[in-house]
Amino acid sequence: MLALKNQEISEPNPEIKYKCKKCTRIYKNKSYLNYHEKYECGVMPQFTCKFCGHLFKRNSHMNEHIDQVHQNTSSTKSVLLMHKCDICPRSYIWRTHLSRHKRLVHAAVKPQFICDCCGYKSDQKSNLAKHMTTVHSQISRTRHGCDQCLRSYTCLRGLNRHKRVHHAIV
């Protein structure tokens, strides 16, 4: 705890992590999780770029997109700004995509995210989060088990097909 002008300011605890229940993203601060849950996770995009039709969840993100991608907003034909890699011939419309390319392809130490459950490896945290949600999340994942062997299926149709093919009595 730091004391500043008779007010206590608590330092963030690095051990406490706040996890989104829908997509398993993890945040250091509760306020970041609250923002994510309110404005990002599960929110349907409702703002459309008039030049390319790209959808955005927030109007400010759409305006930023128009400023960065479509240089001349008054013309009916959009002009693209290209961000070129200084190491290889790749180029990107988005500056953030160029940064990601440099970080993943040209970095001396490449990032690697590993699933604690099965060892799946990814170079992007978002891919690991998707993997964990689709493969390891137990939310609404009912399994239908075969009563004659150890196989199980997420769809009842798959279980019935398995029984017909593998356990059919002739």
Every domain of the chain and the residues it spans: 10-43, 44-132
Band the pLDDT of 4: cuts 50, 70, 90: very low
Q: For 151-169, how does the pLDDT look when each residue is reduced to its tens digit (9 = 90+)?
A: 887 777 778 888 888 887 6
pLDDT at 75: 45
Q: Identify which of 114, 64, 115 has the alpha carbon closest to the alpha carbon of residue 94.
A: 64
* Confidence class for position 1, pLDDT limits 50, 70, 90: very low
Whole-prediction pTM: 0.36
Please tell me the predicted confidence (pLDDT) of residue 86: 92
Tracing tokens 């997509």 back to the chain, one arrives at 23
On whether the 44-132 domain is CATH 1.10.3470, my answer is no
User: Taking residues 58-84, what's their average pLDDT?
Assistant: 69
Cβ contacts of residue 141 below 8 Å, gap of 6+? 154
What is the C-alpha separation between 140 and 21, in angstroms, rounded? 13
- Percent of the chain residues topping a pLDDT of 70: 79
